[in-house]
A and B are shown apart, each in its own frame.
Chain A
Amino acid sequence: MSKFEQEFTVASLDFAAAGQASSQIKKLLQLVGYQPLEIRRASIAAYEMEMNMVIHGNGGILRVNLGPAAIELTAQDKGPGIPDIDLAMQEGYSTAPPNIREMGFGAGMGLPNIKRCTDFIEIKSEIGKGTTVRVVINASQQ
């Protein structure tokens, strides 16, 4: 299969629509025919990345690049940036406000979980400009 790329726009703080991009990505991965556990890992990462953009990033773009040996996801937001990425990667660290926690988010597991589900993670962040998270899941089509 040649490389396939698709972009999804993610709106800030729209909790009714949040999750739609990840759901479409999951369907796309199933259509392409990756292994079920690879699809699951990529879907969880995509959803965490999408929710981060909804909650923290003022919305953004979630891009998926599909190749025969890898699923690549890139979340690019125009949010406030992450001052201390090492701290943000720690389990339990969260800056989510109370209304977000009431929905079940803000356990401080988002970025650590993205790392856990993927084979490569790269986070670039600039204060006041935004954050880009790029991940790769090694994959094989059935």
Chain B
Amino acid sequence: MNLKEVKKLLEAEVLWGNELLEKSVSCAFGCDLLSDVLAFTPPNVLLLTGLTNIQVINTAEMIDAAAIVFVRGKRPTKEVIDFARQKNIPLMATNYMLYDSCGILYLNGLKGCEGNR
């Protein structure tokens, strides 16, 4: 699935990275624990989270995440968005809850990160 489809399915707003929406993601991971994100994700993952602090961007950089979707209507600060731009990590925001966001993507064919545990 590419980021354009993710945007459409989650009725998401692109906070940064409109020009990168053709990028494909291999799987998705929904989590509000950064340590678990670091522990259980493969590269090129779509990260869904309600955390909006700068460490989410650092974490995404370390794991080679494809993009981040902020759920529950959460919006990071401009500083955090600018930081993601520097790191070339696209950001989206959806009003759906984490569970619903994951469910919608899963139903449309984007699976979880298998075999990592």
List chain A positions with a Cβ less than 8 A from chain B: 15-16, 18-19, 22-23, 26, 36-37, 40, 43-44, 46-48, 51, 103-110, 112-113, 116
Contacts and interface: CB of A to CB of B under 8 A. Distances in A.
Nearest to B87: A23
A23 B58 contact: yes
Contacts of B64: 36, 40
| Interface of A: prevailing SS | helix
Interface of B: 32-39, 43, 49, 51, 53-56, 58-59, 61-64, 87
17 contacts: A18-B58, A19-B55, A19-B61, A22-B62, A26-B61, A40-B64, A43-B62, A44-B63, A47-B38, A103-B34, A104-B32, A104-B49, A106-B35, A112-B39, A113-B38, A113-B39, A116-B39
Given A15-B54, A19-B55, A105 B35 contact: yes
A116 to B, nearest CB: 7
Contacts of B37: 104
